[in-house]
Chains A and B, each alone.
Chain A
């Protein structure tokens, strides 16, 4: 099923040993997570902006309805799935670190030398 494939595989590690740039991997891992979060924050901000503009244009800005919203069971499932997707995306670096434990990648330098032979 595609949605399960996407949840499991969207954050997959590409082949090839991942280069490190910062002095500690801990810092690099944190940056990866923070950057993904920054992206998701922007996405959310744009969606809110879209909504606010549409609501304003139609004269339907009802904050009370938003504050008092309670999801149905199906709505809760849909929103839960979104949370799963969110975590798979934002925790990409954790998944790739796990996949790297069993990968047998060559470095770009090694492959370049091989391809130049």
Chain B
């Protein structure tokens, strides 16, 4: 099976580091073995067995000014712990964390509100916790309340707020206190769509202003589209650190979601076809190549086996190039099906690379030619890079632009 080269790429920090974590480990002691009562401690003395759990192991992360980092990983991988350690909320068991500047954090639900206090009172309390003076908060009060869309509700105790209203106020405070570092843990999903858009717009504004953003999320599309860097955490260790597209692929591999739902882990001979490999290269049947420019010749060799069995089908081989978020960009197919005869076939495609921008991966599917039903499918996570223009967007469109005085 082909794999993404998951060598951790630590980009040389070009910008001055804002968050520096060196050799950070975090150990938790499990509750059952821990004396939670002073009485117990006195009765049992020091001889309590401690069961420990390492949520983080020897993590090195340096985040530079202006980076937008997506922290991804399976549930229980240590993402939130890492975020809390970087935020200075949890102290690491060993290692050092250094943060430059003001940190605003939105962790899980809420951001340190007291339910009894009104929204406005919480605004002042939270602002004070974030290091702002009363005078600064007075000047920000109006815009915070405006952004949070709370209106009159701002003077209700926050215990009466819905989770959406809660997050709106929390997010509004966090972005208005002019933080140098914004830490977000899976909260954007709570607000309604209109607010989510507003949040994303605000985040984009932060990016333009050169602020550092670090967020934990399970929405991988967001990582691909928003982040400049992705960090994959699993079992308390950094598994990958680098390009967001690669990070997402690495995570999908860990999660096993790199295959369609229901697809078997090992390619079985369903109807007698096995896709052994798909290699992108710059010459026919040549070694793997990863980078192309528009107009280059791109060769793709798909290695398919038609396995002997009680029923041997013919098969249409289809290839899809997919962009970020698995959006299909373009497809190719064999003009005629593979013969219904056992053997190993090399299917060579050749295309002129279109004017694309970004990273793409290849999915291969073999269909039964008459019914069109899929026999087998497999995706390959070796990303192919195409760099044509510098403008954002998948497609680089040639255009004429004229500026004339009217």
- Chain B binds chain A: no
- Name A's B-contacting residues (CB within 8 A): none
